[in-house]
Structure 1
């Protein structure tokens, strides 16, 4: 409770679905040193950043989005990590082929350029699905762009630089939990009304680190008004000054949600969301400066990435579409003939994924909306061969399979790699790669006075002279008059 985190397997325990084996693993994890070290490290970093927000170091007039101390630490950590990966190789256990680990990481979606391209492909595919449905159905889709801010009690500082006296002390992570919880209730309310949506939302940060959402939703035109009413009701539930039901949102400046249809004369839905995608990815930010803070977009993108890393916030989230994990596994297969030989549907899915056609891939997966249990193809997981230090066998993605058929799962990850430590890559008698050379000491004697250890047979002297601390007088000492003397 003090760390604001649930114990391992807490949801299964409260739901009375915890098995004895899972209980054993949970107890082993709670007494693990690595488990508590990770929690202590995360807690101290977030607590320190929360203090910076409280005292005003994170705001428009100082450092926007996050503190400069954390940005420097995050950049140094990333640089150190890339240096280690540059010195580390991965080796195929069967063929012995060796590849640089850094090259393998940059070839994945961990590369921001590839990540941006994949998200834009998915958004463009959703837009194509809405356009295709318009030609084939009587009721077409409309694209709605929304901006959702948290109630005023979640903001620590105002844009003017003054402290918000209504702030409830919530951290950015707690504010993000408010958004996700409210959006979940909103989605459930739409499902009860038989309203299905699909789209994407992006989490950005205000100048003081408080998150807010930008997103785009596709909904049928005859259901647009209902979606607006439900969304505004849930978004303004905690806002005491929210607009009243039946009152137009344009006449209520206190509303926390702003919804407007996408004007196709000025741009497509993909163009609307591209701006927010690029300015939250480091290395993909556009040129120029932000009008709100006056800072360069490149600096804001770097601060946004550091902010999301610190608070554990997922910046980009899609809603209502098929999973992207199957899409990525299909793109790992390069042999189209092998895919066609498995199954005609498998071949069509592989062809759509290889061509980057998200709309066709979604249609082959069952269209929109499709429940996970009704997907045409799903990801195939397999337990690891060896357990971790707590005795748990982690599930690893091995391929894909077609549920409801007698076809065996298709393995997409055929090669097994092992990581070689950096010291194994260095040549004998040489230092690590890309490291500064170190000088050999002349003698074994070390005259450093820092952290000098006492011998075992000579305990420390408790009568050592302790430096006297200075007593600071701030003028609060009571003055003694002559008569009192």
Structure 2
């Protein structure tokens, strides 16, 4: 109910033309006020709740304990920078290339567009706007990224790194990604990203320059953390930033971006490698097969204690052994539950043909 209410408030603010660089930047004032009130309620609850250690007879408020973890913005920022530095160390040790790229939604998903000379820009209604809201634009970007990584996976290319969802002035998300991969796949990665990022309305004016941007990592210009540090600060606490790209105060900007990130639009930061590791659900074969079964089920590795099972091999041509050893357990709702029956049916048909030969 709370999420539906927040989604409706932001959608109404966008439709009324309140969210843009000339009015309420990134998120509506109502959305910002709701987030600040939520933070105040949470802080009051944490301050008024005491945790008592019965063994040591120590007492701490939950506010004191939460300040030790990533709920503390300074700790969270340091944790993210540490993780980014860790990715970079892995990339350097593996001699992998680094790429900082930005993917932006088509112009029809933006309620407002910016016109005017630099320094005197203003936001005006976008006549091509199709009513897409920030959570729908985020779903579009997730779909684009899913197709990109699926296409690269088919070529045997894996990426790892970080991606961030960040709002533009009218609340429409765009993504910044810092990814690493073997350097021989440089052109393939760029062409694949460009293909799917520009698949929708890729021929519109400015699409090639503005909707897909690539910056290759150069050790002479700085580390991976240096490339992405300002985006980390902007999205957490505005650390060591004076103004954002629009000219607003960094602290106000970080508060608005934080409110936007906790609106119906999903999480701001995520490890890009997590997406690549999360494959589509598959049926799992619980048998002791050393090969993938005829049904297409993925083989499950036998437990370590059952070492003898590793020596068992399902003969490719033997339906009898497959039907006997492979008890299939569908892992998806609606997945077929009669696969062993089909195997048994194939076994009967084969036995009948063999009997006919004799």
Confirm or deny a common fold (TM above 0.5).
Answer: yes
Q: Aligned pairs, how many?
A: 276
Identify the residue that residue 215 of structure 2 maps to in structure 1: 260
| Maintained 8 Å contact 1:236/1:242 | no
| Maintained 8 Å contact 1:242/1:255 | no
Identify the residue that residue 26 of structure 2 maps to in structure 1: 65
Quote the Cα distance in structure 2 between the aligned partners of 1:304 and 1:320: 24
Quote the Cα distance in structure 2 between the aligned partners of 1:252 and 1:164: 16
For normalisation by structure 1, the TM-score amounts to: 0.53
Identify the residue that residue 12 of structure 2 maps to in structure 1: 51
Quote the Cα distance in structure 2 between the aligned partners of 1:90 and 1:316: 30
The yes-or-no answer on 1:301 pairing with 2:262 is no
Structure 1: 5+ residue runs without aligned partners?
1-38, 135-140, 244-250, 323-368, 373-402, 407-485
| Maintained 8 Å contact 2:230/2:241 | no
Quote the Cα distance in structure 1 between the aligned partners of 2:28 and 2:228: 27
Quote the Cα distance in structure 2 between the aligned partners of 1:300 and 1:133: 37
| Maintained 8 Å contact 1:241/1:254 | no
Given candidates 183, 203, 208, the residue that maps to 2:170 is 208
Deviation of 1:185 (Å): 1.6
The yes-or-no answer on 1:217 pairing with 2:170 is no
Given candidates 226, 229, 242, the residue that maps to 2:191 is 229
Say which SS state the counterpart of residue 164 (structure 2) adopts.
strand
Identify the residue that residue 16 of structure 1 maps to in structure 2: none
Quote the Cα distance in structure 2 between the aligned partners of 1:242 and 1:61: 25
| Maintained 8 Å contact 1:279/1:286 | no
| 1:342-380 deviation per Cα after TM superposition (whole angstroms, max 9, x unaligned) | xxxxxxxxxxxxxxxxxxxxxxxxxxx9789xxxxxxxx
| 1:313-361 deviation per Cα after TM superposition (whole angstroms, max 9, x unaligned) | 2110112269xxxxxxxxxxxxxxxxxxxxxxxxxxxxxxxxxxxxxxx
- Structure 1 ranges of 4+ moved more than 3 A: 91-98, 251-255, 369-372, 403-406
Deviation of 1:404 (Å): 5.9
Structure 2: 5+ residue runs without aligned partners?
116-122, 280-301, 306-358
Deviation of 1:308 (Å): 1.0
Identify the residue that residue 288 of structure 1 maps to in structure 2: 242
Quote the Cα distance in structure 2 between the aligned partners of 1:71 and 1:192: 43
Kindly report the root-mean-square deviation, in angstroms, between the aligned alpha carbons of the 2 structures. 2.5
Deviates further, 70-79 or 176-185: 70-79
Quote the Cα distance in structure 1 between the aligned partners of 2:278 and 2:196: 24
Identify the residue that residue 313 of structure 1 maps to in structure 2: 266
Compare the two structures and name the one with the higher helix fraction.
2
Deviation of 1:172 (Å): 0.7
Deviation of 1:240 (Å): 4.4
| 1:260-287 deviation per Cα after TM superposition (whole angstroms, max 9, x unaligned) | 21222221112101111111103x4333
User: Does the C-alpha gap of structure 1 residues 370 and 73 become closer, same or farther in structure 2, counting only changes over 3 Å?
Assistant: closer
Structure number with greater Rg is: 1
Identify the residue that residue 121 of structure 1 maps to in structure 2: 82
| Maintained 8 Å contact 2:233/2:241 | no
The yes-or-no answer on 1:187 pairing with 2:149 is yes
| 1:53-107 deviation per Cα after TM superposition (whole angstroms, max 9, x unaligned) | 1111110111100111221221122112201210111234777653211111111
Identify the residue that residue 342 of structure 2 maps to in structure 1: none
User: Does the C-alpha gap of structure 1 residues 321 and 54 become closer, same or farther in structure 2, counting only changes over 3 Å?
Assistant: closer
Say which SS state the counterpart of residue 109 (structure 1) adopts.
coil
| Maintained 8 Å contact 1:175/1:210 | yes
For normalisation by structure 2, the TM-score amounts to: 0.71
